[in-house]
Amino acid sequence: MKHPYKYTMMKQLISCCCLVLLLHTVDAQTLTIAHCYELARENYPLTRQHDLIAKSRRYTIENIATGYLPQININGQATYQSEVTQIPVKIPGIDIPGMDKDQYKLYGDVSQVLYDGGVIRQQKKLQQISSEVEEQSLEVELYKLKDRINQLFFGILMIDEQVKQAEITRKDMENMLKKTEALVANGTALKSNADVLKAELIQTDQRVIELRAMRKSYAAMLGLFISSNIDENTELVKPSLPSAAVEINRPELSLYNKQIALFAEQKKMVTAKNIPRIGLFAQGGIGKPALNMLSNTFEGYYLGGVRLNWSLSGWYTAKKEKLLLGIKQNNTDLQRQAFLFNTGMIVKQQQTEEEKWQSLLNTDNEIITLRENIKKAAAAQLENGVITGSDYIREANAEAQAKQSRILHEIQLLLSGYNLKWTTNQ
């Protein structure tokens, strides 16, 4: 015998699971443009470069930082000389040995930077900014995805609306055909009137077939971008018109700024690498001769001290290097200004487009109302035998065209709004 409490709990659990599955299914059948942006960015192959750039930056900066650690070198050499140093004085009774012409040396050298003019610190800054330039360049490429998503997303929305309108038109035609066939059966209408309506129904069905094939193509392309399956049951949520924006905040501007900053840091590096360097050093090894130049035996030795390095030849080109970097900075700034100018022109054009579609949309409802009234009158006239089926089809098509125009204007208005949003990145 089943325990009633356990049986009730099992029913509740099954109901909850079914509800969760139902909600998941419903959610899976709807798609917003914001979600498309997110999925496209996540699934685009270039997105994985962010991790590679971050790892490359970390490893490179860690390698640069080793410049603060003691630097160890092992050196060795074996030479044969044509002449050696000799003492030109002979003292009776004292034999002063001469140096051998074959000489050997094996030693280790340890050096520790005390002051490098800021070269290592500047190298780390340069690497950091270079990585930021790479990342921003990647952001520029990824940002272009939104424009491609816009065209596909709103293309599908427009097709969906056209299919809906075509189906409404088809139902009107079917109703009119039934009435006409009844009139033909009663002998009050010509059979040709019914044939005209049947032909129009077939053409409407063909139009729906074309639209659905086009939607399938658009959905396949959008599905590739977001790595999801989009079928005829997937509903794309029509977004609201975004608020107007005129301030340009595109990722390209940040890229230009980072490039200019990179050139500024490179100028600092030119100065840093021409500053004297001070460090400690220690050397120890074995040689023949060692520190005693008159000894012809292998002996160990060591020495240490403070070392100063200063390459003065770098100052020959330092001024020109900075001038060249300044030219690159100015050139990048000019590119930035040109980008702002061209983008500003596009913004003006898109604002005009948006105003145009809004104005057309404002008059569409009035046109549709008039066309509906004309079609109703034509339907009554067809039923009374005043006009032919072709005359009715002309008025019905005019009404359908008016409704198609409203659909076009509505979607174009949304697309122009989102194009403007993409252009300004607001």
Binned at pLDDT 50, 70 and 90, residue 348 comes out as: very high
Binned at pLDDT 50, 70 and 90, residue 16 comes out as: very low
Greatest mean pLDDT among 22-26, 87-91, 245-249, 261-265 lies in 261-265
Quick one: 359 exposed, middle or buried, by C-beta within 10 A (0-12, 13-18, 19+)? exposed
Q: pLDDT value at position 13? A: 45
Greatest mean pLDDT among 7-16, 27-36, 93-102, 408-417 lies in 408-417
pLDDT at residue 12 is higher than 70: no
pLDDT digits (tens, 9 = 90+) for 267-306: 999 999 999 999 999 999 999 888 888 788 899 999 999 9
Residue predicted with more confidence, 47 or 96: 47
30-70+117-275+314-424: CATH class: mainly alpha
Q: pLDDT value at position 7? A: 43
Q: pLDDT value at position 19? A: 41
Positive or negative torsion for Cα 216, 218, 221, 224: negative
Q: pLDDT value at position 210? A: 93
- Return the percentage of the chain with pLDDT > 70, whole number: 92
Q: How far apart are CA 196 and CA 379, in angstroms?
A: 14
* Number of helices and strands in the chain (H, E): 8, 6
112-140 residues labelled b (16+ CB within 10 A) or e (exposed):
ebeebbebbbbbbbbbebbbbbbbbbbee
Residue that is written with structure tokens 């659905």 in the block: 212
Positive or negative torsion for Cα 283, 284, 286, 292: positive
pLDDT at residue 410 is higher than 70: yes
For 26-42, what is the mean pLDDT?
81
pLDDT at residue 381 is higher than 60: yes
Q: pLDDT value at position 400? A: 85
pLDDT at residue 93 is higher than 80: no
Q: Can you give the pTM of this predicted structure?
A: 0.79
pLDDT digits (tens, 9 = 90+) for 193-236: 788 888 888 888 899 999 999 999 999 999 999 988 888 888 89
Q: pLDDT value at position 263? A: 94
pLDDT at residue 6 is higher than 70: no
Can you read off the two tokens belonging to residue 374? 């004309």
Q: Where are the domains of the chain?
A: 30-70+117-275+314-424
Binned at pLDDT 50, 70 and 90, residue 50 comes out as: confident
pLDDT digits (tens, 9 = 90+) for 117-166: 889 999 999 999 999 999 999 999 999 999 999 999 999 999 988 888 88
pLDDT at residue 25 is higher than 60: no
pLDDT at residue 29 is higher than 80: no
Residue predicted with more confidence, 396 or 133: 133
Rg of the Cα atoms in the chain? 42
